Structure 1
Amino acid sequence: MGRAEERRARQRGGRRAASKGRRSAPTVGTGSTAAPDKPDQPKKSLIRRMFTWKKILGTIFGTCLLAIAGFIGLYLYVDVPPPNLAAQQQSNVYKFSDGTLLARSGKTNREIVGLSKVPRKVQLTFVAAENKTFYKDAGVDFKGTARALLNTLAGKGKQGGSTITQQYVKNYYLNQDQTVTRKLKELVIALKVDREKSKDDILAGYINTSYYGRNAYGIQAAAQAYYRVDAQDLTVEQGAYLAALLQAPSQYDWAVATPTSKRLVKARWNYVLNNMVEQGWLPKTKRDAMKFPTPKAPKPDAGLGGQKGYLVGLANQQLEQQLMAQDSSLSQTDAEKAVIAKGWTITLNIDRKKQAALEKAVKSQLTGHLDKKKRRVDGYVQPGAVSVDPKTGGIVALYGGQDYYAHYSSNATRRDFQPASTFKPVILAAALRNNATTQDGKQITADTIYDGNSRRQAVDHGVKVGFAPPNEDNQSYGSITVQKAMNLSVNSVFAQMGVDVGMDKVMDTAKQLGMDTKGMQAVPAQTLGSMGASPLEMAGIYATFANHGKKVTPSILKSAERTGRSVQLPDAVGDSVISRTAADTVTSVLTGVVDDGTAHSSVEANSLRDGQQVAGKTGTSDCNRSAWFTGYTPDLVTSVGLFGEADKAGGTNCDGRPIKKWDHVSMKGAMGKGRVDGGGPPARIWAAYTFGVTKKAEFDLDTAQGAAVEPTQTQSASPSQSPTQTPSQTPTSESPTTEPPTTEPPTSAPPTTEPPSPPQSPGQSPTQTPSQTPTSQEPTGDGTPPSDPLASGGQ
């Protein structure tokens, strides 16, 4: 057999029969030489035949091709997802006007800050701790990721080795699940993010989304939680500790760490700083001089109890309104979503000292004397107050209720109670603004004489308008000046003045001054303050008077910013809505209320007044459901309201109907006393607060009218719609010249406080008769009640 045949035989598994070493005989006739005999070859095993080098290399190569193809497909298939909701949630931070912390709100204690707010070397502590090659790598650590994948498949749990980019992707785009699918997505997304974002953006995202322990998410919250400073004020040593924390936040928290954990976190801290030296980011001399920065003890979260919730609520509301004003496409819902738990840093105009003083005044003058276990009515009393700087429009203090968690609705902003007689200055302002005249054509001033008898029918050029309001305690005053009518809060005078001015003009003036008049009717009953209004609104109206007629829209917001972007806030002080002279005249008249009127006893009783000039007005609604004092000094306006609100059902209301929970009810008998009127607790709260926080000053008034200025001459005009008897006489039951007498004329009794004594010009006869037919002695039983049954009486 020739060599070729022998080879073919071996390939077929055959075996030569020739003996070992024998060579084949030459084939006859071929001329070729026969090949020598070869030894027999053993048969190969199945495994050797299957796993040849070529097959192994081919398999590896094919697998690599498949892996590459699969990764390319995965890369093309997986997109960078939107941020997860948890990463976007942040706490809003609220600060007092001086920058100190007021409160945080939101489930996630996170406040995102731009990288520019973090010192550069503090930034590098995180790079040194987690990923020294961060600025050079492509965003992934293939070796570490492969190890993590294998350990995950083997069930060995969480494994490290990820880059900063990968950790950022996990925090911001994905979740903390330890699955092969999540890890593969993390790898792909990290590659894409590294290409799409700058390293600074990635680092900022990483330090803002990481968890540091103590319920602190992000570096700003961590800086506050551990060192009570802002991120921009962190030192390198402090930054290195926060970077070290990320490895084991709970274990490495110094306040709860075991001795072993303290040793480990110190070792980690040293590791971070040594890496910085190694990378050339920190001089060794400085490194050697650094000492471990022991964190401060944990501090309880700033909650929303007490007054904080009311302050935060108004701040959110005003910010939402401003966002909608800047973007008309935003709905109320959209604006709320843009504010709540979105990482705003909101600085309020609230002055810490004034806020504390207001809370103290309410407690000392009211809530400290309420005991609803002894008197059910004490549980009805709801106080509210707003204090405003009239020069800036800033709300410097606010009282929304005894506790935000106990009474969610803010009494400072609620509009469901009547402002009562605190509305009277608006009527006077409307008269002055419109140069209004009385029925007999005399211009209305502080010295104009009106008929002050109780239940006097208001008339419009001889025509009864169907409104005859009673005065407080049904008291009649006869002929009385506007100044004295304001001092004593005489309803009948201002009812007639409203008709003289025109109720449409009165309500327009109210709107211009800052009252929300939407849906309000321009009817005479509104002269008694029978509409709804809040202490916030009334403070704004009176602040406009104090600021010489320039419109003041009280604002609690000093600044609002989010991730470095500030919201442009409008000026709280606008243009003039009434002239300076008109505004100053109102102020001058209102000083008489404090010096000689319904607020005198409470304000004058405060020893801290020390001659301080004050203007203000009391108000007490029908049935004693609300009581007010809104007053001001040259630099501070404060409106205090007390509201009767049933804390539970049961009993009978003052109108005879059963009381339901949240009903408006009488406060009579609160604190074990009688009627709660505006000149009582509200005025005392106002005085205790105001005189403790203001400096003595006088009003700068541009007017010749009112109680605050020396009168040059008295008004010579005859009373508008006054009775026929002489002004200096006590009203009697004598019948008017054109109206028949009644069995029970309301003016038959003399005034119980002070007989009317209107000023008269030189030469004026004391028996001068009024210029028009009197209507003041309209009988009480004529069947013409006030148009609003709730709008009767009040100071």
Structure 2
Amino acid sequence: MPPGAPGNGRVPPQRYRADGPPVTQQGGAQRPPYSSGDMPLLTHDETGATSVAREGALAVAERTEVVSGAPGMPQKPARKGSPWRRVRRILYVLLGLAVIGPLLAFVIGWMIFSVPSSDEAALTQVATFTFADDQPLATVRPENVNRVKVTLDKVPQHTREAVLAAEDATFYSNPGFDITGIARAIFNQLTGGIGGGSTITQQYVKVSTGHDESSLWRKYKEVVLAVKISREQSKDQILENYLNTIYLGRGAYGVQAAAKAYFGKDVQDLTIGEGAMLAGTIQSPSNWDPAKSRPDAERRWNFVMDQMAERGWITAAERAQPFPTNWLPEAPSLGGVPDDDRYHIYEKAIQELAAKGITQDQIDTEGLTITTTVQQPRQAQAVEAIKKVMKGQPDNLRTALVSIDPKTGAILAYYGGANGLGTDYANAMRQPGSSFKPFVLAAALQSNKGIGLGSLYDGSSPQVFEGQSVSNSEGFNCDSCTVQTAMTKSINTIFYRMAVDVGTQRVADAAHQAGIPSDVELAARGGIALGDSEVHPVDMASAFATFADDGERHEPYIVSKVVAADGRVLFDRGDAAGEQAVPQQVARNVTESMIDVASSSRIALSDGRPVASKTGTVQLNKTNQNKDAWTVGYTPSISTAVWVGSDFSDPIKNSAGQPIFGRMLPGSIWQEFMNSALRGTPKEQFSKFVPMGVPPAADPALNPNPSGSLSPSDTPGDNSDENDGRGGRGNGNGNGRGNSDDGSNGNSDDNSDSGFGGGGGLFDSNDGNGGDSSDNSSGNSNDNSNSDNGTGNND
């Protein structure tokens, strides 16, 4: 028995601390781990249950120590996980991504992709300009795109259903995209195939955003925007937009343009078979055009018709109809914007639209129909009159004609030149010469000086006014002439005196009052009496129209109505009221002053109807040459201004080499046009004439009629077949007052018309003498145009 053992000779089990050997006592002796005071001796073995519990507790402790990495304890390696566990985890992650990923991507796309605004989605489409009777004038195709929008109600139900059958039969029930179609598109993209599964909504998104590249990104964006658009727009709205944007071949965008291109009719007139044929071309317009491949077009047509029949959209009888055969072999010409005289009408309309706030962008994208006031027959008459009179004339001559309805201000004819891409001479600035004299009279009648058509003035020549020598033509002088005679004979010295007496600013104000625009600067100096300030031909036609309508002014206009493709009326002129700008009596007296000019100049109208007119000629500097020539005149229903000149203010001569005066080429064009335009219309009379100031009195030399006015029937020289001469009063051969056919004796209704001639020259234009006098002695006035021989009367 070892020393120190218990008396019974048994040694208790030895336990060592896990962290080291037994603890030694002081002096080096080992202290037993247990003593009678520390732990009672075990007097019996552990039970099974106790042992198991203790072993379990120890195992837990050991595992805890291993995991926690307690120092001094041996580390047990962790058990490796099962390979299948990793596979399951990967599958769980992939499944989560498959479910959550698309939702997350859709949410992100919803936040970053915006539905195109109305401006961004706006597509170019055709704008149509028409004459007043809706006949086509110009067709504007921005970016050369042929598109005309129509509202959905204009598209027949069967045509809509044909498109659904061809492209998206579930359109009205799907959310804007098709899952199976998208899956097919993704597969094709990944495998290098082509084609996809776009719904009508997705196709509309593609077109409206301009993103038509073949990529998964585009498909992703399409889906998101398709859903967003479906929430913001009704299905009918989406379908309408789609039908107006989709390309159907032959340069046609939208069903309206396609109906015209394939069948030459409007979309609302399409039959079931025709609508199905158009719908069939959508997927491949270049291949399924019947003109290119009828078998392919017919096969696709059968597919569309079968789909419609299966869905009950057409009856068996309707399905049995044959393939349409009335399609056009090629699309009809779209006209475009003409480059002849009609271009100036279009250009003038564009300017007017801009002034009314209708922009070029609206013209390009809203499918506008712009109705102009120009009457197609009268435009043709203007062109014909100009061609007839100007045939054989020198190439440097240019012509303008503007005709206006005095009662409304509507422009009835507008000719700015044969070259539409060149200068618009109807809107060019030119000096009007003596055709400006009626404004001098209008100012005088309102000056409270008692001036009337019977007032007498010194008409001798030359005279000096404010240091300026003014002369009449050598063809007419008078020591004392009435205002009526001065207008008929266009006596410079009388009108210059009148302007100075009443004030040149009053003359400028009277011109603006009648209708010369306020932004046209009129120099308030003596030369204004003879038309030295530049104006537009359209201004003169408009201002004379005010006199024609007894002083009621209507702003000239060329656009009467603007309607967008969706039916919105952007502008409607309607019956705009005029303004009594010139007192009625003043306007009527001005008219009366010009009542004899046409017959005196042998450009009276053929049916003898009342007409007031004034000619004008502008001298070229101080030469005996002229640079501008005018005739402006009116009846109660039409006011027309005609100008003849050149691009560079060169001397203007006729084919005979003679200087051109207002009553010659311009007068002949004016007469020809007015006769054509008024043929068959009622012979209107001007309103009752009530004289102002000094009433018209008998002029022993020129006007023995006490009324001071000759009716057309009193004028034997009407229409130039007989030489009026007015001096001989009834002597058709012009024997009164010398020879009326002789410009030197004054049948020259425009004796000056110099307007400074662009260079401040003398106011003596030698009217009535000029180059015309060489042939005047013949007294032959059978040629109304006087375009070649310069006969007779000079203005």
Same fold at TM > 0.5 = yes
Q: Tell me the equivalent position of 2:667.
A: 683
Give the structure with higher Rg (CA).
Answer: 2
Q: Could you say if the C-alpha distance between residues 66 and 410 of structure 1 is closer, same or farther in structure 2, counting changes exceeding 3 Å?
A: same
Give the one of 589, 594, 597 matched to 1:590. 594
| Deviation at residue 51 of structure 1 after TM alignment | 8.4
| Deviation at residue 493 of structure 1 after TM alignment | 1.5
Q: Tell me the equivalent position of 1:633.
A: 635
Give the one of 167, 186, 197 matched to 1:149. 186
| Deviation at residue 560 of structure 1 after TM alignment | 0.6
1:622 aligns with 2:619: yes
1:702 aligns with 2:736: no
Q: Is the 8 A contact 2:262 2:331 kept in 1?
A: yes
Q: Could you say if the C-alpha distance between residues 120 and 547 of structure 1 is closer, same or farther in structure 2, counting changes exceeding 3 Å?
A: farther
Q: Is the 8 A contact 1:468 1:492 kept in 2?
A: no
Cα deviation 1:470-509 (Å, max 9, x = unaligned): 3345853332222221122222221122223322222222
Q: Distance in 1 between matches of 2:264 and 2:632?
A: 40
SS of equivalent to 1:619: strand
Q: Distance in 1 between matches of 2:280 and 2:473?
A: 72
1:182 aligns with 2:218: yes
Cα deviation 1:623-665 (Å, max 9, x = unaligned): 22211111223322221111211xxxxxxxxxxxxxxxxx332
Q: Is the 8 A contact 2:618 2:627 kept in 1?
A: yes
Give the one of 95, 98, 102 matched to 2:133. 98
Q: Could you say if the C-alpha distance between residues 199 and 569 of structure 1 is closer, same or farther in structure 2, counting changes exceeding 3 Å?
A: same
Q: Tell me the equivalent position of 2:97.
A: 62
1:752 aligns with 2:788: no
One-letter amino acid of the structure 1 residue matched with residue 616 of structure 2: G
Q: Could you say if the C-alpha distance between residues 253 and 436 of structure 1 is closer, same or farther in structure 2, counting changes exceeding 3 Å?
A: farther
Q: Is the 8 A contact 1:393 1:573 kept in 2?
A: no
Q: Could you say if the C-alpha distance between residues 365 and 714 of structure 1 is closer, same or farther in structure 2, counting changes exceeding 3 Å?
A: closer
Q: Tell me the equivalent position of 1:454.
A: 461
Q: Tell me the equivalent position of 1:560.
A: 562
1:388 aligns with 2:380: no
TM-score by length of 1: 0.73
1:225 aligns with 2:261: yes
Q: Tell me the equivalent position of 1:140.
A: 177
SS of equivalent to 1:104: strand
1:581 aligns with 2:553: no
One-letter amino acid of the structure 2 residue matched with residue 699 of structure 1: Q
Tell me whether 48-57 or 416-425 shows the greater mean CA deviation.
48-57
The correspondence of residues 246-645 of structure 1 with structure 2, limited to 5 A, is 246-254=282-290, 257-258=291-292, 261-288=293-320, 292=324, 294-296=326-328, 297-303=330-336, 304-323=338-357, 335-339=359-363, 342-366=366-390, 368-370=391-393, 378-405=394-421, 407=422, 409-414=423-428, 416-432=429-445, 434-437=446-449, 443-458=450-465, 465-472=466-473, 475-518=476-519, 519-562=521-564, 563-570=566-573, 571=575, 573-596=577-600, 598=601, 600=602, 602-603=603-604, 609-623=606-620, 624-645=626-647
Q: Tell me the equivalent position of 2:651.
A: 666
Q: Is the 8 A contact 2:507 2:528 kept in 1?
A: no
Q: Distance in 2 between matches of 1:557 and 1:143?
A: 53
Q: Could you say if the C-alpha distance between residues 178 and 714 of structure 1 is closer, same or farther in structure 2, counting changes exceeding 3 Å?
A: closer
SS of equivalent to 2:539: helix
Q: Is the 8 A contact 2:551 2:582 kept in 1?
A: yes
SS of equivalent to 2:388: helix
SS of equivalent to 2:407: coil
Q: Could you say if the C-alpha distance between residues 58 and 420 of structure 1 is closer, same or farther in structure 2, counting changes exceeding 3 Å?
A: same
Q: Could you say if the C-alpha distance between residues 561 and 790 of structure 1 is closer, same or farther in structure 2, counting changes exceeding 3 Å?
A: farther
Q: Could you say if the C-alpha distance between residues 546 and 84 of structure 1 is closer, same or farther in structure 2, counting changes exceeding 3 Å?
A: closer
Q: Distance in 2 between matches of 1:341 and 1:491?
A: 55
* Structure 1 unaligned residues grouped into runs of 5+: 1-28, 31-45, 325-334, 371-377, 438-442, 459-464, 646-662, 716-728, 730-749, 757-783
Give the one of 145, 151, 171 matched to 1:114. 151
Q: Is the 8 A contact 2:264 2:332 kept in 1?
A: no
Q: Could you say if the C-alpha distance between residues 697 and 785 of structure 1 is closer, same or farther in structure 2, counting changes exceeding 3 Å?
A: closer
Q: Tell me the equivalent position of 1:789.
A: 761
Cα deviation 1:431-465 (Å, max 9, x = unaligned): 33x1542xxxxx2222222222233234xxxxxx3
Q: Is the 8 A contact 1:388 1:395 kept in 2?
A: yes
Cα deviation 1:685-735 (Å, max 9, x = unaligned): 1222221221251323220457999965569xxxxxxxxxxxxx9xxxxxx
| Deviation at residue 278 of structure 1 after TM alignment | 3.6
Q: Distance in 2 between matches of 1:99 and 1:237?
A: 30
Q: Is the 8 A contact 1:87 1:171 kept in 2?
A: no
Q: Distance in 2 between matches of 1:621 and 1:183?
A: 71
Q: Is the 8 A contact 1:538 1:639 kept in 2?
A: yes
Q: Distance in 1 between matches of 2:614 and 2:434?
A: 7
Q: Distance in 1 between matches of 2:568 and 2:409?
A: 24
Q: Is the 8 A contact 1:87 1:209 kept in 2?
A: no
| Deviation at residue 421 of structure 1 after TM alignment | 1.5
SS of equivalent to 1:323: coil
Q: Distance in 2 between matches of 1:514 and 1:625?
A: 25
One-letter amino acid of the structure 1 residue matched with residue 165 of structure 2: A
Q: Distance in 2 between matches of 1:638 and 1:197?
A: 53
Q: Distance in 2 between matches of 1:288 and 1:789?
A: 86
SS of equivalent to 1:693: helix
Cα deviation 1:166-213 (Å, max 9, x = unaligned): 111111123222222222111111111111111122112111112232
Cα deviation 1:12-45 (Å, max 9, x = unaligned): xxxxxxxxxxxxxxxxx99xxxxxxxxxxxxxxx
1:242 aligns with 2:239: no
Q: Distance in 2 between matches of 1:454 and 1:234?
A: 76
| Deviation at residue 574 of structure 1 after TM alignment | 0.8
Q: Distance in 1 between matches of 2:763 and 2:186?
A: 77
Q: Distance in 2 between matches of 1:473 and 1:89?
A: 63
Tell me whether 142-151 or 685-694 shows the greater mean CA deviation.
142-151
Q: Is the 8 A contact 2:471 2:763 kept in 1?
A: no
RMSD of Structure 2 on Structure 1 (CA): 3.4
One-letter amino acid of the structure 1 residue matched with residue 354 of structure 2: E
One-letter amino acid of the structure 2 residue matched with residue 533 of structure 1: V
Cα deviation 1:361-383 (Å, max 9, x = unaligned): 111111x324xxxxxxx343221
Give the one of 123, 147, 163 matched to 2:160. 123
One-letter amino acid of the structure 2 residue matched with residue 385 of structure 1: L
Percentage of identical aligned residues: 33
Tell me whether 619-628 or 265-274 shows the greater mean CA deviation.
265-274
Q: Distance in 2 between matches of 1:404 and 1:308?
A: 7
One-letter amino acid of the structure 1 residue matched with residue 607 of structure 2: D
Q: Tell me the equivalent position of 2:715.
A: none
| Deviation at residue 388 of structure 1 after TM alignment | 1.6
Q: Distance in 2 between matches of 1:208 and 1:474?
A: 69
Q: Is the 8 A contact 1:145 1:161 kept in 2?
A: yes
Q: Distance in 2 between matches of 1:755 and 1:161?
A: 85
Q: Distance in 1 between matches of 2:325 and 2:569?
A: 33
Cα deviation 1:212-247 (Å, max 9, x = unaligned): 323222333333333344444444444333322322
SS of equivalent to 2:744: coil
Cα deviation 1:141-165 (Å, max 9, x = unaligned): 22212322332343334x2421111
Q: Distance in 1 between matches of 2:757 and 2:577?
A: 41
Q: Is the 8 A contact 2:463 2:493 kept in 1?
A: yes
Q: Distance in 2 between matches of 1:492 and 1:175?
A: 74
Q: Is the 8 A contact 1:525 1:786 kept in 2?
A: no
| Deviation at residue 289 of structure 1 after TM alignment | 5.1
Tell me whether 635-644 or 72-81 shows the greater mean CA deviation.
72-81
